[in-house]
């Protein structure tokens, strides 16, 4: 049940990003904070990184769910 809640949170976060992408200028540099490895990146690059990162976590959760039954 807790794993399902995590998957739902990931899906909600991605939906929020999709909505933000509709209204923001994605070519602008994200200024709230720099990426720890790449430094300043655009909003589009941040969204891509977050989608990739959260997908990795989603797959880890799905793997745990299968192993736990």
Please give the pLDDT value at position 4.
Answer: 85
Q: Of 63, 58, 67, 59, give the one whose Cα is nearest residue 7.
A: 58
Tell me the two tokens of residue 60. 């880890």
Please give the pLDDT value at position 2.
Answer: 87
Q: Per-residue pLDDT tens, the chain, 69 aa: give them.
A: 788 898 899 999 999 999 999 999 999 999 888 888 989 999 999 999 999 999 999 999 999 989 988
Please give the pLDDT value at position 22.
Answer: 95
């Amino acid at each position: 049940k807790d794993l399902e809640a995590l998957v739902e949170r990931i899906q909600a976060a991605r939906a929020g990003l999709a909505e933000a992408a509709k209204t923001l200028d994605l070519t602008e540099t994200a200024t709230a904070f720099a990426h720890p490895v790449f430094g300043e990146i655009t909003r589009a690059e941040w969204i891509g990184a977050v989608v990739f990162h959260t997908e990795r976590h989603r797959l880890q959760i799905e793997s745990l769910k299968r192993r736990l039954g």
